[in-house]
Amino acid sequence: MAKTLHHLASSLVILSTVLSFLIVADAKSQRFTRYLSPATLGLKKEKLSHLHFYFHDIVSGKNPTAVQIARADMTNTSSTGFGLVAMIDDPLTMRPELSSKLVGRAQGIYASASQNDLGLLMTMNFAFMEGKYNGSTLSVLGRNSVLSTVREMPIVGGSGLFRFARGYAQASTHKFDIKTGDAVVEYNVYVFHY
């Protein structure tokens, strides 16, 4: 009987060891993540690019490119417009004049997110339509302190030639019309991409 129990115990130890190995091996093949070399996706050496363009935020006239889509009850009494949300499809041009060459569009949302100063939450894509970047996008998500001379916002991603993009955009107001609310903003974008 003692030999049988010893033999049974030995068999159970061997069986449990084999099962543990199979479970661990199966778990490794079913992982949630895995390391990939950039080359497996056809990615080559990372580059740093500088893009320069003008952003035209037009809130006046018959064809505005920025329209209010929401506001809070307190927005009307807020000195900063806190709670206002606008949808944009703003032209991006080579020069400050709206009639200059169109290189893309800024599409997304900005919202007045500060009760103490003019601070906007910018969530937008720069959708390019010119040259080798035609069809590629850069995604911006950050704070725009409107009254600062130069504002810096992060580039958090991109598509097309800007896949895996990261970097920052610097914005500076080129022109602001106090009567209409229309603005022209100069952008310098520095972005790493493959």
Residues 49-91 pLDDT 10s? 999 999 999 999 999 999 999 999 999 999 999 999 999 999 9
Asked whether residue 181 carries a pLDDT value surpassing 90, the answer given is yes
**What's the average model confidence in pLDDT over 162-182?**
97
Which of 77, 79, 61, 38 is CA-nearest to residue 164?
38
Q: Residue 84: its pLDDT value, please?
A: 96
CA distances from 15 to 57, 134, 189 (A): 70, 60, 61
DSSP states of 89-100 as a string?
A: EEEEESSSSTTS
pTM for this entry: 0.80
- Which pLDDT band holds residue 27 (cuts at 50, 70, 90)? low
Count CB atoms within 10 A of the CB of residue 165: 22
Percent of the residues in the chain that have a pLDDT greater than 90, as a whole number: 75
Residue 189 CB-density burial (10 A; 0-12 exposed, 13-18 middle, 19+ buried): buried
Tell me how far apart the terminal alpha carbons of the chain are, to the nearest angstrom.
Answer: 70
Asked whether residue 133 carries a pLDDT value surpassing 70, the answer given is yes
Q: What single letter denotes the amino acid at residue 183?
A: A
